[in-house]
Structure 1
Amino acid sequence: MRAKTTIERQYDIVIVGGGMSGICAAIAAARHGSKTAIIQNRPVFGGNASSEIRMHICGADVHGSRSDARETGILEEILLENRRVNPQMSFSVFDTVMWEKVKFQDNLDMYLNTHMTQVETTDNKIVKIIAEQITTEKIFEFKAKIFVDATGDATLAYLAGAEYMFGREGKAVFGEKDAPDESDDVTMGSSLLFKAVDAGHPVPFIKPSWANSYTDDDLAYRGHNEITSGYWWIELGGDDTDVIADGEVIRDELLKAVYGIWDHIKNSGHHNADNFVLDWVGFLPGKRESRRVVGDYVLKEQDCLAGKIFDDAVAYGGWPMDMHVSGGIRTRLEPNLNIQCDEMYTIPYRCLYSKNISNLIVGGRAISASHMAFGSTRVMATCAVVGQAIGTAGAMAVEKGVMPRDVNEYIKELQQELLKDDCYIPGFKNEDAADLAKKAKVTCSSFVEGSDGQNVISGVTRRVKENTNCWISSEMGDTPEWIDLAFDCKVKVKEIHFKFDSNLSKELMPSLSHSVLSRQIPGIPAELVKDYTIEFYSDGKLVQSLAEKENYLRLRVYKLPAPVECDDIKVVINATNGDKHARIFEVRVY
């Protein structure tokens, strides 16, 4: 019998898990110079946002109901790329967008269909992990300085012996007023989604013999008027069945529920569904909750409700504490309770690494949070910005030769790097001493009241309450609008960065839901600058220029092939993607 050969791989950072948090962590780590691997045991990236599950990416904007709150950074880059190539909002094409982002990123290797089977630790430090690629029958041994758990279930942390929490903490544990009276092992359940299409003619549906039956009374608290897609409340597990150990049983029971719900919609006679037919039914449950790794700090309900700004903040959230009923669809109760967060809150770095495994960083829904706080932090856009934070932190740890906990000593540097990369941290602004733009005299062709050119060096890159923090020109006419940065001496420019306006009050993500998609404005956000020229002057003479056409991204970074000596930089806006005003949140010069 031929034995399988183990292939050894050495990296700076190994990330296990390829959901939104994992891919954002991997891209960030690689871009910051670390040799990185991402290991994903599915054939596609995206986790709950992939074509296998098809959940839309929610976050602090709460489906667009909180203005100027959408997450930026790598997630925004991915969603804008998707808008450009995938106007039909196909989840399969979205899979390809995410694959492309990972596949063609320098410093990053991907291992799809690769399942971690073993973790070896010594002295509370991960030494290596073993994983098998099921499509090639190859066995890999991965060694790294830093490991990142983005598995969702905290599988890497669990196998490494990290401290973790499971279930609901009682009121006395963290002093949370909305927690259950006593602690238990109950978690939120898992869901299967479906999609239906209008066939244009009546189509019968014969209920499978194994499917459940539901009456209007059974579904009294579960809205199902939108019949083209559904439904997050088709939820089971976490009470008498363990969402991890009983995952296959839960999947089978969810299938019975999905087909039973569809039978009710089709055959009860009052949903106008005669012409509708099932087009897709998920076979991989979308999981909400399992293990949560204990870090140096546990985020709590009080932090979320107070909109707390931590000194070591590196990410933020704002989704309600969305607490699902134990028992899911088997109950005749409201399926969830939303405890609103009046303000966005920050997530401290101390929640993002293991308390007892020294080289383990944690992302996604497994961060150090109580069950109550987890109800908010678990959504994918929040997980994505956490992912970018931990990827950046991991690369910083590698660069400085320290463990993840020691990055606390460089927390201001980490925060500034995240802001530079277009992450938002409420309460923090650009204080990068290397940014030459902060010393420039800014003038502009025109502006609307409250949005003059000085805003491009304000240090904040989105509207916050009454402050636009954006240069917004008067309505564009036949002549271009421009903004100018003049220096009192010659400067050598190696890089110039722009953060444009992509309308952070509107959603961008793919969705199965017609109602969610109908609230979106199709195409590239109109507010984004489209065509522009960057002009470098020295003593009034143009020495170099760069022209950009068809821009569709919010963050643009230009690394010049050779330093340009100049005393003035002028950005000329020739066109937007449809808006009447030129808009720029930030200009940085290095």
Structure 2
Amino acid sequence: MKKLAVLITSLALHFSSFSQSSNPVFLETENFQNKGGWVVDQQFMDLMGSSYLMAHGMGVPVADAETTVEFQSTGEYTVFVRTFNWTSPWFDGEGPGKFQLVVNGKKTKQVLGASGSEWLWQNAGKVNISSTKVKVGLHDLTGFNGRVDAICFTKGNTPPPNDLEALETFRKTHLGISMTPEKAGHFDLVVVGGGIAGTTAAISAARLGLQVALIQDRPVLGGNNSSEVRVHLGGRINVNPFPALGDVVKEIGPTRGGNAQPADYYEDEKKMEMVLAEQNISLFTNYRAFAVETKNSRITEVHARNIENAKELTFSAPLFADCTGDGTIGFLAGADYAMGREGRSEFEEPTAPEIADKMTMGSSVQWYSVEESNPVAFPAFRYGVEFNSSNSEKVTMGEWTWETGMNFDQIYDFERIRDYGLLVVYSNWSFLKNFSPNKNEYTNRRLEWVAYIAGKRESRRLLGDLILKEQDITNYVVYPDASAPTTWTIDLHYPAPKNTEHFPDMEFKSIAVHKKIHPYPIPYRCFYSRNVDNLFMAGRNISVTHVALGTVRVMRTTGMMGEVVGMAALVAKRNNTTPRGVYKNHLDELKKLMNKGVGKYNAENMQKYNEGSTLGPKE
């Protein structure tokens, strides 16, 4: 922390000089008072500095975003806007994400968002400010995902810095954000990530009497099972050896199945109501964890930033649970992790490739269309990926098989991965609507929903005292710390061969290869870090190989992991020990809790969809 303090001090002096000479007014767009039809996208905060507003209109311009800001002085200002031409990785020309800045009702002449090949400050021209109270707006021109990070009015001619470290300090200096985060409180357990695993971990621990902080970087809970991503739950609950596991999943899960369905299928409100009903949970939605403090191989604090107003909070606890999916907290704390596919010799897994590589399962941008009673137009969309009669997907919706980014880094290339998902959906739909010989079949169809929050399957896997491998599962090697059962097949995804034929190295469709298993109890040792002493994990970032991830990653299974982690947190607190100490010295105590479960409402299991195909119980 001392090194960080020195960096901030030197940069602050530079920006103080910038402020005196140019008198800048700095706006973060995600903090606009009226966002109109623009959406807040936080998925890439770690990569480009903050969340941003995006015009996700699916080809129809969205309503203006507006805010009012106070200026200290009037006069002529140069305006810089930080934006990104998102199709630039595939198309050299002018991009589709066009928008204009609006100042006191007048649009600037410059069209923004259509040039450049990275996040950068574009000059929007000069404006005359005649009043200290100014209305600033964003006017979308296309509906095709124009995006804006920040706006700076300056009396000089120099844009703010684009370097992330320098820009971070610039933001705080000119937004008046404290360099010292506010303390959110001290808890028994801090759970980071509000997907199914994080939600069940928080509920489980809270029902057992722990004071829990649940941090989620979106306004809704559920992660991939929310209305923002729309993946249905998979796997079975309430099976041996601990049939009470899954009771919380049963309580919070939607009653209807299906991918890429209307928003109400995913019952966001049910998950939220279940969490809010627990008095021992302090819920922090719209906060993204971005830093940790550690001491003696333990996490002491997690820092989180609000995705809209940039307010920062710190959370302290003796125990933390990484349910981020990406293993973010573990990574920041220096936890051992793996990413990509292990070579066959490393664990002798029959399904592993001969040589290790960086390939992962990809991320899905799902979508669907609806039939209207009248013709519906869609703009021609051609930005580097050409569709024709032989390679187009002649469909009216796309679910999990629309999967991208297997050969890219699912952390550092994630914006590109998501954007490619958007690119191919729009490009294919444009061909079907405008150029296909069968376009009359699509005349009345309207693009109803396209996900802008991508559904990710795999990235970092944090390593525990045991790394679950393929043979453990297929040979039914039951360990003494057997816990939450995995009931899905070993389900691994690969680029679809036909899609590879048409789009080599640019695939956007996948196939699934299944290997049937017996329902298998995952060892508890997969649920805590081997070198960060007070860190649990639940979800797709647990301690497994790439092959073993194929079965444990479905959400009813990850939800049961969360229940076990909540129980283990109680055992750890009660005995003043670590997650490893629970395994070494208090395993019987954990087993009693797993036998009993933490179900509260005696709910009937209405989730009889997508349970998967296995060989049944091992004799």
TM-score scaled by length of structure 1 = 0.66
Number of the residue aligned with 1:391: 566
Number of the residue aligned with 1:44: 220
Seen in structure 2, the aligned counterparts of structure 1 residues 33 and 216 have a Cα distance that, compared at 3 Å, is: farther
Offset at residue 34 of structure 1 (A):
0.7
Query: Which string of whole-angstrom CA distances, capped at 9 and with x for unpartnered residues, describes residues 360-413 of structure 1?
Result: 001110000000000111111111111111111112211221100111132232
Seen in structure 2, the aligned counterparts of structure 1 residues 31 and 182 have a Cα distance that, compared at 3 Å, is: same
Seen in structure 2, the aligned counterparts of structure 1 residues 498 and 138 have a Cα distance that, compared at 3 Å, is: closer
Seen in structure 2, the aligned counterparts of structure 1 residues 95 and 211 have a Cα distance that, compared at 3 Å, is: farther
Number of the residue aligned with 2:616: none
Number of the residue aligned with 2:403: 235
Offset at residue 343 of structure 1 (A):
1.4
- Answer yes or no: is 1:151 the counterpart of 2:253: no
Number of the residue aligned with 2:204: 28
The ranges of structure 1 where at least 4 consecutive aligned residues each deviate by more than 6 angstroms after the TM superposition are none
Seen in structure 2, the aligned counterparts of structure 1 residues 89 and 370 have a Cα distance that, compared at 3 Å, is: same
**1:171-250 alignment, distance < 5 Å:** 171-210=344-383, 212-215=385-388, 217-218=390-391, 227=396, 229-239=397-407, 241-250=408-417
- Answer yes or no: is 1:73 the counterpart of 2:176: no
Number of the residue aligned with 1:373: 548
Offset at residue 258 of structure 1 (A):
1.0
- Answer yes or no: is 1:95 the counterpart of 2:268: yes
Offset at residue 195 of structure 1 (A):
2.1
Number of the residue aligned with 1:581: none
Query: Which string of whole-angstrom CA distances, capped at 9 and with x for unpartnered residues, describes residues 163-182 of structure 1?
Result: 00111001101010110001
Number of the residue aligned with 2:423: 256
Look up the equivalent residue of 2:567 and give its one-letter code. Answer: T
CA distance in structure 2 between the aligned counterparts of 1:508 and 1:39, rounded to whole angstroms: 28
Look up the equivalent residue of 1:261 and give its one-letter code. Answer: N
Does the 8 Å contact 1:186/1:326 carry over to 2? no
5+ residue gaps, structure 1: 62-68, 424-496, 510-515, 517-590
Seen in structure 2, the aligned counterparts of structure 1 residues 500 and 54 have a Cα distance that, compared at 3 Å, is: closer
- Answer yes or no: is 1:53 the counterpart of 2:229: yes
Look up the equivalent residue of 1:259 and give its one-letter code. Answer: Y
Seen in structure 2, the aligned counterparts of structure 1 residues 381 and 208 have a Cα distance that, compared at 3 Å, is: same
Offset at residue 134 of structure 1 (A):
3.2
Does the 8 Å contact 2:249/2:559 carry over to 1? yes
Offset at residue 122 of structure 1 (A):
1.0
Offset at residue 415 of structure 1 (A):
2.3
Number of the residue aligned with 1:278: 447
CA distance in structure 2 between the aligned counterparts of 1:41 and 1:211, rounded to whole angstroms: 32
CA distance in structure 2 between the aligned counterparts of 1:175 and 1:190, rounded to whole angstroms: 27
Secondary structure of 1:325's match?
A: strand
Identity in percent: 37
CA distance in structure 1 between the aligned counterparts of 2:384 and 2:374, rounded to whole angstroms: 25
- Answer yes or no: is 1:364 the counterpart of 2:530: no
Does the 8 Å contact 2:325/2:540 carry over to 1? yes
Offset at residue 29 of structure 1 (A):
0.7
Query: Which string of whole-angstrom CA distances, capped at 9 and with x for unpartnered residues, describes residues 255-283 of structure 1?
Result: 11111232355453559444321111111
CA distance in structure 2 between the aligned counterparts of 1:275 and 1:321, rounded to whole angstroms: 40
Seen in structure 2, the aligned counterparts of structure 1 residues 236 and 200 have a Cα distance that, compared at 3 Å, is: same
Does the 8 Å contact 1:236/1:328 carry over to 2? no
- Answer yes or no: is 1:507 the counterpart of 2:609: yes
CA distance in structure 2 between the aligned counterparts of 1:398 and 1:128, rounded to whole angstroms: 17
Number of the residue aligned with 1:531: none
- Answer yes or no: is 1:294 the counterpart of 2:478: no
Seen in structure 2, the aligned counterparts of structure 1 residues 238 and 160 have a Cα distance that, compared at 3 Å, is: same
Look up the equivalent residue of 2:233 and give its one-letter code. Answer: I
Look up the equivalent residue of 2:486 and give its one-letter code. Answer: G
- Answer yes or no: is 1:322 the counterpart of 2:491: yes
Seen in structure 2, the aligned counterparts of structure 1 residues 89 and 238 have a Cα distance that, compared at 3 Å, is: closer
Offset at residue 100 of structure 1 (A):
1.4
Offset at residue 96 of structure 1 (A):
1.8
TM-score scaled by length of structure 2 = 0.63
Offset at residue 158 of structure 1 (A):
0.2
Offset at residue 139 of structure 1 (A):
1.8
CA distance in structure 2 between the aligned counterparts of 1:377 and 1:328, rounded to whole angstroms: 25
Match of 1:306 among 472, 475, 478: 475
Look up the equivalent residue of 1:262 and give its one-letter code. Answer: W
CA distance in structure 2 between the aligned counterparts of 1:329 and 1:379, rounded to whole angstroms: 26
CA distance in structure 1 between the aligned counterparts of 2:497 and 2:425, rounded to whole angstroms: 13
Seen in structure 2, the aligned counterparts of structure 1 residues 329 and 387 have a Cα distance that, compared at 3 Å, is: farther
Offset at residue 315 of structure 1 (A):
0.4
Number of the residue aligned with 1:448: none
Query: Which string of whole-angstrom CA distances, capped at 9 and with x for unpartnered residues, describes residues 475-521 of structure 1?
Result: xxxxxxxxxxxxxxxxxxxxxx99676367x2289xxxxxx9xxxxx
Name whichever of 297-306 and 261-270 sits farther off: 261-270
Look up the equivalent residue of 1:234 and give its one-letter code. Answer: W
CA distance in structure 2 between the aligned counterparts of 1:319 and 1:70, rounded to whole angstroms: 18
Query: Which string of whole-angstrom CA distances, capped at 9 and with x for unpartnered residues, describes residues 193-220 of structure 1?
Result: 112112133434333233733346436x
Seen in structure 2, the aligned counterparts of structure 1 residues 386 and 279 have a Cα distance that, compared at 3 Å, is: same
CA distance in structure 1 between the aligned counterparts of 2:386 and 2:360, rounded to whole angstroms: 25
**1:501-580 alignment, distance < 5 Å:** 502=605, 506-507=608-609
5+ residue gaps, structure 2: 1-172, 238-242, 502-506, 613-619
- Answer yes or no: is 1:135 the counterpart of 2:308: yes
Secondary structure of 2:591's match?
A: helix
Does the 8 Å contact 1:207/1:259 carry over to 2? no
Seen in structure 2, the aligned counterparts of structure 1 residues 125 and 328 have a Cα distance that, compared at 3 Å, is: farther
